[in-house]
Amino acid sequence: MRGKFITFEGIDGCGKTTQLRLLEPRLAGLGINFISTCEPGGTDIGSAIRRILLDSKNFSLVPLAELLLYAADRAQHAQELILPKLESGVTVLSDRYTDATVAFQGYGRGFDLDLINNLNRLAAGGLKPDLTILLDLEPEQAQLRARKRRAEGAPAEDESRLDNEAIDFHRRVRRGYLELARQEPERIKLIPAEGTIEAVSELVISEVMKLFQR
């Protein structure tokens, strides 16, 4: 039986990575065979692309190059890792996927949405998630969380070029995510992320369990 494909999305600082990590032991406890991955990254080539994309020193990276690098990363990720794992019956958890490109490069950067959707289809080979967990948080609150994380000693590489964007950029990204959730409510489950980590985790786990019960 084919594995399930679950993605986690949201603006920077929403807590999606934390929630993905909290889901892992629950799946393991149920005997579900899974792997966790991320975009950009997930493969050796993807990791090299990730360093270029997220390095805060690469301020000269132009938006079109950024968009195409994300697409290259996704093509490698889908073909090398995601598809083979799903076809072998392994569930895949991914920290970001195609929705991120729509939200960040489409709504955030202003690229044509038809262009982005076509590029996503090409790069991902038409592969769509079975479930997307969208953690929703006001950008101002997300930035406060990010600053707190850095003050508590988060690694320097945790601060990316996108962290340095103006608050209006993150507001546009959030609007993009909310529009995606409106368009695809069956796939994208909108979860308020302002609560405690534990409370949000229970909401996430509830949605994931519904997927496995279908």
The domain that contains 76 carries what CATH number?
A: 3.40.50.300
Instruction: Give the per-residue pLDDT at 32.
Output: 97
DSSP classification of residue 156: G
**Is 147 buried (19+), middle (13-18) or exposed (0-12) by CB count in 10 A?**
middle
Total number of domains in the chain: 1
Question: How high does pLDDT run on average in the chain?
Answer: 94
Instruction: Give the per-residue pLDDT at 55.
Output: 87
Task: Give the pLDDT band of residue 154 (cuts 50, 70, 90).
Answer: low
pTM above 0.75, yes or no: yes
153 has pLDDT over 70: no
Structural domain boundaries, residue 102: 5-212
158 has pLDDT over 60: no
Pairing relationship of beta strands 91-95 and 131-136 according to DSSP bridges: unpaired
